[in-house]
């Protein structure tokens, strides 16, 4: 993984792009300006893992370019299964930040992928500014949790 620099020049482009991401679109320009300096961009190679199931959660991710797969392993003797494939604009990593549980699944890059990264404190800041986005995020996390927990054992 390589951390990409988000310079002043890129911040304008970033702001424009983020407005198209559902999670950020309700933010006012002022709120957006408060968050923007804290958004990181990380670049991953094809096949690289972003994080593993069971790891502690410290950040929230939105796909900028590329594609990731979400792999879930139910028990020690079970095989891992793909529970979701995600594309630009999709997000992941919210469950561990909301529940404070470890990562519920492994996320790996299918192709070269760039991710916007918000560390936990900045993610909480955005949710605090946006009770509507927070409620929607809770709903999505609950639905994902339900889907993975109802997978068969093998």
Q: Which residues bind ligand CMP (CB under 6 A)?
A: 57, 70, 83-84, 92-96, 103-105, 107, 144, 147-148
Contact 50/68 with Cβ under 8 angstroms?
yes
Tell me the CA end-to-end span of the chain in Å, nearest whole number: 32
User: 13 or 151, CB closer to ligand CMP?
Assistant: 151
Cβ distance to ligand CMP smaller for residue 95 or 127:
95
- Minimum gap (Å) between residue 107 Cβ and ligand CMP: 6
The conformational region for residue 94 under phi > 0 = left, psi -120 to 50 = alpha, else beta, is alpha
- Encoded tokens for 111: 């192709």
Question: Taking the complex as a whole, how short is the minimal distance between the CB of residue 59 and ligand CMP, in angstroms?
Answer: 9
Q: Are 72 and 147 in contact (CB under 8 A)?
A: no
Nearer to ligand CMP, 35 or 107 (CB): 107
Shortest distance, CB of residue 90 to ligand CMP, whole angstroms? 9
Dist CA 85 CA 90 (whole Å): 9
Whichever of 46 and 82 has its CB closer to ligand CMP, that residue is 82
């Amino acid at each position: 993984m390589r951390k990409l620099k988000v310079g002043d020049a890129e911040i304008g482009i970033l702001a424009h792009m983020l407005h198209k991401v559902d999670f950020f679109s309700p933010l006012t320009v002022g709120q957006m300006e408060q968050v923007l300096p804290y958004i990181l961009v990380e670049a991953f190679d094809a096949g690289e893992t972003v994080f593993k199931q069971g790891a502690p959660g410290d950040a929230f991710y939105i796909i900028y370019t590329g594609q990731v797969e979400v792999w879930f392993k139910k028990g020690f003797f079970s095989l891992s299964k793909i529970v979701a494939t995600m594309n630009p604009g999709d997000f992941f990593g919210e469950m561990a930040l909301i529940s404070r549980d470890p990562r519920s699944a492994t996320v790996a890059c299918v192709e070269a992928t760039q991710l916007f990264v918000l560390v936990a404190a900045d993610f909480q800041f955005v949710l605090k500014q946006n009770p509507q986005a927070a409620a929607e995020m809770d709903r999505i996390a609950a639905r994902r949790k339900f889907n993975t927990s109802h997978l068969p054992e093998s």
